[in-house]
């Protein structure tokens, strides 16, 4: 298994540009999520999905869109990039149960810089 994969590893954007961060998992996990990691702030949840066709907002959703058309893929779209979106982005997945006691598997991250 490849686990959770993310592309690209690095990206530089200009303010106002749009782009999509890709995330895929091959573990048949129901739950997928996107986090951003900023110094001194830990990881903050952007959006999450509990299954194909179902998405919801996390703690910091503004400026980002997601969709979940398949179990495997969960892309994150930046609509109009802003310098405040400079961060490291992590995708994660887990086998969701009603109990919610499953550990999450993280991708290697995408380092995004917005100029």
Partner 1 sequence: AQSVAQPEDQVNVAEGNPLTVKCTYSVSGNPYLFWYVQYPNRGLQFLLKYITGDNLVKGSYGFEAEFNKSQTSFHLKKPSALVSDSALYFCAVRDPRGTDKLIFGTGTRLQVFP
Cα dihedral sign for 25, 55, 109, 42? Answer: negative
Selected from 25, 33, 55, 71, the binder of partner 1 by CB under 8 A is 33
Tell me how many degrees the CA angle 19-24-25 measures, rounded to the nearest 5.
160
Select the residue interacting with partner 1 from 22, 67, 86, 102 (CB under 8 A). Answer: 102
Instruction: Give the residue with the Cβ less far from partner 1, 43 or 82.
Output: 43
Q: Give the integer Cα–Cα distance in Å for 23 and 42.
A: 20
Residue with tokens 């969701």: 96
Ordered alpha helix ranges (H), 26-108: none
Examine residue 27 and tell whether it contacts partner 1 (CB under 8 A): no
Judged by CB under 8 A, does residue 22 bind partner 1?
A: no
Q: Residue 13 or 92: which CB sits closer to partner 1? A: 92
How far from the centroid of its chain's Cα atoms is residue 68's Cα?
Answer: 11
Is residue 45 close enough to count as binding partner 1 by CB under 8 A? yes
Residues that bind partner 1 (CB under 8 A): 4, 31, 33, 35, 40-45, 48, 50, 58, 90, 92, 94, 96-109
């Amino acid at each position: 298994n490849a686990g959770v994969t993310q592309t690209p590893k690095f990206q530089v954007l200009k303010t106002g540009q749009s782009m999509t961060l890709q995330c895929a998992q091959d573990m048949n996990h129901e739950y997928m999520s996107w986090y951003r990691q900023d110094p001194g702030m830990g990881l903050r949840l952007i959006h999450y999905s509990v299954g194909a066709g179902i998405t919801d907002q996390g703690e910091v959703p503004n400026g980002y869109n997601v969709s979940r058309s398949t179990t495997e893929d969960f892309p994150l779209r930046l609509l109009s990039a802003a310098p405040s979106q400079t961060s490291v982005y992590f995708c994660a997945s887990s086998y969701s149960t009603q109990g919610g006691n499953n550990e999450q598997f993280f991708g290697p991250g995408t380092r995004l810089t917005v100029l």
